[in-house]
Structure 1
Amino acid sequence: MKNLFKQYGITIFIGAAAIVAWDMLTRFGGLNPVIFPKLNEVFSVFYTAGNELFAGLMSSLKLLFPAYLGSIILGIGGGVFFGLLTRIRQILMPYVHLLSPLPPTLFVPYAIAVLPTFESASIFLIFIGTFWPIFLGTLQGVLIIDKQYLDNAKTLGLKGSDFLTKVIVPAASPYILSGAGQALTLSFLILTMAEMFGAESGMGYFIQYYTDFAYYDYVIAGMIFNCAVILIALLLFEKLKKRLLFWTNLKADNETGKSK
């Protein structure tokens, strides 16, 4: 606990100061009490609508999980494929450069028109938005692998799946996980956007629904809940990333020891 406060003491102080400032402004600052409700009103929402918030979270995860998992599988597979096959990469990379910057919102009309349900359209949009960071991160990771590693793998006779799982993917994993982290952040952004305009449940729907009725204590509570969920997801991802990339930390420690 002491180490936690030492590491995040300033962060905690900034958050506490923001809470105190909000409380003072809503009580004595003359702000519109409808748009800027008091803190006790906001936090009471977690008691009165807690079940609704968690039900929305479960609904959101049903959209987020399959889309993100699909992006992981196809993004890594496609990035490795493009990275290893030079001729195919030369032919198709112009299309990658053309399509990857397009925002998922451009595909909304076709997603709604072609796909049968809101859920399938949302999963498709989240997939489109999260695929490219993982694909491009994987591709970059494969392309910068030191040729010495590839030559050593050939010398050892590694081929097929052994070559991919023991050489290519581990060597490119820092870039793969970097792209996956960016995609995770984007997935929540696209999910919330989709739910605010067409869903009947979910974290984004909760905020939009109570905005329509000007219940801003519920709106702010929903925003806080969303932020907490995203923060927890990113922290868990960072822990997973550090565990998977433990060898990079060991390498950094060894290099630091040599420099001393």
Structure 2
Amino acid sequence: MTAQTMTEPAPPPAKPRRPLLQSRVSGVLLVLALLVLWDLSARFWVDSTSWPTVTAVLAALFSGSADLFAAFTSTISLMLKGFVLGALLGVAGGIAIGLSPFLRRAFTPLLEFLRPLPVPGIVPPLILLLGIDDAMKITVVAFSTFFPVLINAAQGVRMVDPVLIDMARTFRHSRLRSMWQLTLPAALPYVFSGLRISLALALIVTVVAEMIAGGTGIGYYLMTMQYAMQPDRMYAGVVLLAATGYALNWLLLLAERRLLHWYSPG
């Protein structure tokens, strides 16, 4: 063995190839395969006017129906208002409960009493109090968003390393400065987990509220198309909702990666 070969650096280990089933391409292929199966079943196997082909649904989606996109815009506007309101209240409440054992003991029974309430169960009382306008729907969405964010934020605050808190006290950091520079950054991964859960809930709850007490929105649109026996337009609304949920989750993940670039989950 020569000196040259002894001093040559070893080649870097080859990166393991990502399994196909775990790749993003495989996810897209699975969706396409399901759509093809849907289309074939509607053409050859299912003899029903309530089960349109994929091409008919896509034609209804891209035909530019003003009613569909007006309903969609109304739903997204209500959802975002309720989501932002519930998220802000959830983060503030979660930090307060996480920092204060007194507040945690005082409010835990009330929160556990209200948290399991189903959305259809709270809509009728809210209709009596707020009517069937946008205020009721925003309140329902905020209510559903509030609890996952609050619970995750409180858990994130409680998971802060006590050694770091003692170190901040040693350096005589104020309570506000410690919360801003230590507690909140440490709790942010938990907060984003709550936000992702709440985002899906917000979209679902908005549609349900529009179905129960709506004159506008995608939920009301779906019910109208069902009664009008226009399944292609109804499924077009469903597909639009699915694509919207995927896009919103992707945007939230992108924001999480940008804001928490220092965080690497195990």
Same-fold call, TM > 0.5? yes
Query: Who is 1:95 aligned against?
Result: 110
Q: Aligned partners of 2:175 and 2:81: how far apart in 1?
A: 28
From the superposition, tell whether residues 29 and 131 of structure 1 become closer, same or farther in structure 2 (CA, over 3 Å): same
Cα offsets for 1:40-80 (capped at 9, x unmatched): 22111123344333222221122112211111211111111
Aligned partners of 2:86 and 2:142 also within 8 Å: yes
TM-superposed CA distance for 1:158, in Å, is: 2.3
Aligned partners of 2:123 and 2:209 also within 8 Å: no
Give the aligned residue type for 2:184.
Answer: V
Query: Who is 2:69 aligned against?
Result: 54
Query: Who is 1:21 aligned against?
Result: 37
From the superposition, tell whether residues 161 and 54 of structure 1 become closer, same or farther in structure 2 (CA, over 3 Å): farther
Counterpart among 31, 42, 64 of residue 47 in structure 2? 31
Query: Who is 1:148 aligned against?
Result: 163
Deviates more, 1:9-18 or 1:167-176: 9-18
| Structure with greater Cα Rg | 2
1:8 aligns with 2:24: yes
Matches within 5 A, 1:55-204: 55-204=70-219
TM-superposed CA distance for 1:173, in Å, is: 0.8
From the superposition, tell whether residues 212 and 148 of structure 1 become closer, same or farther in structure 2 (CA, over 3 Å): same
Q: Aligned partners of 1:225 and 1:201: how far apart in 2?
A: 16
Give the superposed CA RMSD.
Answer: 2.0
Unaligned runs of 5+ in 1: 253-260
TM-superposed CA distance for 1:160, in Å, is: 4.4
TM-superposed CA distance for 1:141, in Å, is: 0.7
Deviates more, 1:49-58 or 1:94-103: 49-58
TM-superposed CA distance for 1:133, in Å, is: 0.3
* Higher percent of residues as helix: 1
- The secondary structure found in structure 1 opposite 2:263 is helix
Aligned partners of 1:42 and 1:220 also within 8 Å: yes
TM-superposed CA distance for 1:162, in Å, is: 2.2
Aligned partners of 1:103 and 1:129 also within 8 Å: no
Question: 4+ runs of 1 displaced by more than 4 Å?
Answer: none
Provide the aligned length of Structure 1 versus Structure 2: 247
Q: Aligned partners of 1:231 and 1:53: how far apart in 2?
A: 19
Cα offsets for 1:173-224 (capped at 9, x unmatched): 1111111111111001101101122222212222111011110011111100
Query: Who is 1:223 aligned against?
Result: 238
Unaligned runs of 5+ in 2: 1-17
TM-score (norm 2): 0.86
Q: Aligned partners of 1:30 and 1:100: how far apart in 2?
A: 42
TM-score (norm 1): 0.88
TM-superposed CA distance for 1:118, in Å, is: 2.2
Give the aligned residue type for 1:159.
Answer: S
- The secondary structure found in structure 2 opposite 1:36 is coil
